[in-house]
Structure 1
Amino acid sequence: MRITAETVADGIREQLFAVSDIPGVLWTPADSSGPRPLVLIGHGGGQHKRGWEVVSRAFPYVTACGFAVAAIDAPGTGDRPEHPEIRRLVALIDEQEAAGEPFGPALTALYETVAAQLIPDWQATLDALQKLDSVGDSQPVGYYGLSAAGESGIRLVAAEPRITAAVLGLVACDWLLDAAARITIPVEYLLQWDDEGNPRDSVMRLFDALGSAEKTLHANRGGHFRIPPFEIDSSIRFFARHLGHAGVPSSL
């Protein structure tokens, strides 16, 4: 891991880093040292590691719980080079949407293309982060990801045993049912009742498929981008309960 830039503001240290060719960012408390629980945050489609939906979660996790929080750019986004196949598939999906046509296999191909690179990228990043004194390899790890980051997040959580709690949702993909069944850790799952692209019945079918003994479905009125702000507070309580605060064991 190479630290490429570092700033401190409002009690939070922000470090931009690169793991091989994977660009990322790590936030930690500015006035603390030593290992602490880590939360990985995925970003939505077409967004990036320092987008609003990432920062709005990361900063409260650092200040309220003392967590370390990390995000990376998905293939073809942020500081990563353009990905020709992803660009082609996104253009095709946009054309189908404009014509009122179903996405068909293009959407599945897009997710498969992203996941084929993103899941190993997350695992390599986690390897590197756990070697840092500010994170360590003895602390629990959580994952937060909605929408496109929920799709890849289900794949990641199913494949990565170091992740012990996850907030997921805003995704309804039948091809994820088998991966969801392999997830056994605590999950908080978000559903927007009027989500234009994710029918509630399909979202609930995916939630039902989760193999977790502890799983909670949070359903709120509104469209895909109308998640109530209080869901951030709920995720703080969820991660504090399952990961503990810095220096304080979790309740598990």
Structure 2
Amino acid sequence: MTRKTKLLVTRPEPDASRTAAHLKALGLDPVVAPLLDPVAQDVSLPDPHAYAAIAFTSPNAVRFFARRRPDGAVTQKPVFAVGEGTAEAARAVGFLSIRAAEGTLADLVPLIVATHEGGAILHPAGRDLSGDMAGALAAHGIEVLGATLYAMEQAQALPPAIRAQLVAGGIEGALFFSRRTAEAFARLAAGPDFAATRARLGCLCISANCAEPLVESHFPRIALADQPSHEAMLALALAFVRDQKRA
């Protein structure tokens, strides 16, 4: 029997298990090692009357917002989601009016500018933002109320079994869905023990911004998804495995 190509899934839970299930359904062999852990932050939310709409830039932002048990009036407010995955999370917790961008902040800002009907926008988010949505929208006269609901804490070590597989070459590829996850992996895979790993590991990245920490850490085998979406990452994983089998 031909051994399946092992792919490391680095994103935080519960998204890591969701991605792993999709990869298994495609006949691939995922190994899960979340490199970020979402931790709730103690912060007060603005009164619902203070904002007219909500902008979510990650599924985790939706989940942590929903834990605050917003009342029915809040779930009636229009939602702007950075991509379809975030939109799905918003639907799952009861939001009814959702517009989804194409997966990046650069897509979300013009969507809001073109369709927002006025009033401040609440932006529940993580501590470490990848862009300045408030500044971008302020240039168009739209006020953003920020609320830091969680922090993504980086793992301090790779699980020993997975570290051993990476060093030995048992894991051929790794999926990266965010810049911070790529930063965490690059830090954990530094040093002489990982020299061969860095040379051979296929790094499958959702965007060029995500890939930058890996490029800077001298991982030469980097591939980018056609679009910043979960579906495009699954397609990239399939293409990578097919290329591995042909090599």
TM value normalised by structure 2 = 0.41
Structure with greater Cα Rg = 2
In terms of fraction of residues, the more helix-rich structure is 2
TM value normalised by structure 1 = 0.41
Q: Relative CO higher for 1 or 2, CA cutoff 8 Å, sep ≥ 6?
A: 2
